[in-house]
A = this chain, B = another copy of it.
Amino acid sequence: MAKYSNKLDMTFSALADPTRRAIISRLCDGPASVGELSQPFDIALPTLLKHVRVLEKCGLVSSEKAGRVRTCRIETSVLQESDEWLRQHISLWENRLDRMEHHIKNMKKDQ
């Protein structure tokens, strides 16, 4: 089966889950412990931890353990990489539309 061929796969897949997007939203407001992250959700701690691990694996989140508390923070560089893919494709398409428009104008001119 198609495993994750690259970072973009992992990142978009990570972003596809609403719980994980909520974790990211929360972390945009500042670092938080695993326990703090779990509070808004009606899911067991191991499940939340799995989500955090997924976010860590693709680099969207980093964490560090001090004593018995693990503190998580967001890493926006990976968000930016995904953003870049999207923007690039949006502009590819828009450039094509521009070229088409240009082409149509030329056709009219030639009549």
Q: How far is the CB of A6 from chain B (nearest CB, A)?
A: 7
Contacts of A25 in B (CB 8 A): 89, 92
- Which residue from chain B places its CB closest to the CB of A97 in the assembled complex? B76
Contact across chains for B18 and A92 when beta carbons are under 8 A apart = no
Q: Interface residue count for A (Cβ, 8 Å)?
A: 34
Contact across chains for A90 and B96 when beta carbons are under 8 A apart = no
Q: How far is the CB of A102 from chain B (nearest CB, A)?
A: 15
Contact across chains for B90 and A79 when beta carbons are under 8 A apart = yes
Q: Which residues from chain A sit less than 8 Å from chain B, CB to CB?
A: 2, 5-6, 8-10, 12-13, 15-19, 21, 24-25, 28-30, 74, 76, 79-80, 82-83, 85-87, 89-90, 92-94, 96
